[in-house]
Amino acid sequence: MYQTPTAKEDERLILASHALIENTEGKLRLNLEKGKVFEFKKEEIAQVDFERMHINSQPKAGIGKIQSIKEYWNGVFTNHKRAYDLSFFLLIALFPIASTLIAISIGIVTYRYNKGGIYIVIFATIFVYFALATLFSSWHPQSAPLVVFMLTFLLAYRIYQKRIKAIF
> Residue 64: inside a domain, yes or no?
no
Q: pLDDT > 90: what percent of the chain?
A: 17
Q: Is 13 helix (H, G, I), strand (E, B) or coil?
A: strand
> Residue 126: inside a domain, yes or no?
yes
81 and 151, same domain (yes or no): yes
79 and 36, same domain (yes or no): no
For 31, residues 6+ apart whose C-beta sits below 8 A from its C-beta are: 19, 20, 21, 22, 52, 53, 54
Q: What is the CATH number of the domain that holds 48?
A: 2.30.18
Helices (H), 4-143: 69-74, 80-106, 118-139
Alpha carbon distance 154, 147 (integer Å): 11
79 and 108, same domain (yes or no): yes
pTM over 0.75: no
Strand pairing category for 45-57 and 27-40: antiparallel
159 and 84, same domain (yes or no): yes
> Residue 63: inside a domain, yes or no?
no
117 and 83, same domain (yes or no): yes
> Residue 50: inside a domain, yes or no?
yes
Residue 33 has pLDDT above 90, yes or no: yes
With CA atoms as reference, report the closest residue to 53 among 27, 24, 20, 31: 31
> Residue 41: inside a domain, yes or no?
yes
26 and 108, same domain (yes or no): no
90 and 136, same domain (yes or no): yes
- Into how many domains does the chain fold? 2
156 and 128, same domain (yes or no): yes
Express each pLDDT in 37-96 by its tens digit. 999 888 888 898 999 998 888 766 665 666 777 777 777 778 888 889 888 999 999 989
150 and 96, same domain (yes or no): yes
Supply the range of the domain harboring residue 132.
69-165
Express each pLDDT in 89-101 by its tens digit. 999 999 899 888 8
161 and 107, same domain (yes or no): yes
